[in-house]
Amino acid sequence: MTVVIGLTGSIATGKSTVSLMFDDYDIPVIDADKISRKVVEPGEKAYDQIVETFGRDILREDDTIDRKALGAIVFNDEEKRKALNGIVHPAVREKMLEERDYHVRQNEKAVVLDIPLLFESELTHFVDKILVVYVDEEIQLKRLMERDESTEDEAKSRINSQMPVSKKAEEADAVISNNGTKQQSYDQLDAILRKWEVI
Ligand SMILES: CC(C)(COP(=O)(O)OP(=O)(O)OC[C@H]1O[C@@H](n2cnc3c(N)ncnc32)[C@H](O)[C@@H]1O)[C@@H](O)C(=O)NCCC(=O)NCCS
Ligand SMILES: Nc1ncnc2c1ncn2[C@@H]1O[C@H](COP(=O)(O)OP(=O)(O)OP(=O)(O)O)[C@@H](O)[C@H]1O
């Protein structure tokens, strides 16, 4: 039986950093953010729906979506964010489940679904175990501003678009505290995977 691990956290808490560590165990990772970029490429159904809903002002010269412009709209307006989610999420969900089922058929020991909005989108029933990557709020804000070169207001509007990571940690089967070094997070992951008997 394949163990389906839901990897989540909140923005910039370190999901991508931790997801790379699964490589060392040959555990496949399905990345919802990556899929969400693919399903909005020109020619895809979700692309047409986004242009219809948000207009052509959110397009770049080559007609691809200007993610910064769309982000500036949806991270400051809950209704518009819901509209975008309603377009993008069904397509992401379908693709993710297809990939999950492929790995289950291959009889892999484990497969990871890296889903930032696992709780917010009520997708917890898709996974067997929930692993939350946690950091304290000040560190989250600092890392987000540094990574995205964003202002404090921009970063805070993104953070406030999600459930607080402390709340997610309360509902998890296991929590990695990523306040320390990447090596310390790696050691925690190793211990969790041993406990879950997937390595
Ligand atoms: C608004 C968009 C265009 C901004 O793109 P951008 O390249 O700047 O950010 P990216 O997609 O890399 O997302 C970065 C992080 O933002 C957070 N985030 C993204 N979308 C959302 C959302 N709708 N609600 C809350 N947080 C979100 C996630 O933590 C994600 O990891 C893009 O995030 C998007 O299309 N979002 C809707 C789809 C979605 O929910 N994606 C995330 C999970 S599938
Ligand atoms: N333990 C750590 N020590 C120092 N920096 C870290 C650590 N973990 C992650 N970072 C840095 O913090 C930033 C956020 O991490 P990462 O991109 O992995 O977060 P994320 O949760 O995947 O974010 P998103 O929700 O946007 O996809 C990155 O610049 C990353 O290099």
Rounded-to-integer distance, Cα 27 and Cα 130, Å: 15
> How far does the chain reach from its first CA to its final CA, in angstroms?
13
The mean pLDDT of the chain is: 97
Would you place residue 4 in the very low, low, confident or very high pLDDT band (cuts 50, 70, 90)?
A: very high
Residue-range definition of the domain harbouring residue 120: 3-195
Report the residue among 30, 33, 53 best suited for mutation to probe ligand 1: largest number of ligand atoms under 8 A from its CB: 33
Which ligand 2 atom lies nearest to the CA of residue 147? 29
68 within 8 A of 154, measured Cβ to Cβ: no
**Interface predicted TM-score (ipTM):** 0.96
Please state the domain count of the chain: 1
* CATH for 92: 3.40.50.300
Most distant CA pair in the chain: distance in Å? 51
- Could you give the angle at the alpha carbon of 3 between the alpha carbons of 13 and 130, nearest 5°? 30
In the structure, what pLDDT confidence band is assigned to residue 158 with cuts at 50, 70 and 90?
very high
Q: Tokens at residue 102, please? A: 């492929």
Q: pLDDT-derived band of residue 126, with 50, 70 and 90 as boundaries?
A: very high
Find tokens 């910064």 and name the residue: 68
**Ligand 1-lining residues (CB < 6 angstroms):** 11, 32-33, 36, 67, 70-71, 74, 81, 84-85, 88, 92, 116-117, 158, 161-162
Average pLDDT of the residues in 167-191 = 98
User: Whole-model pTM?
Assistant: 0.97
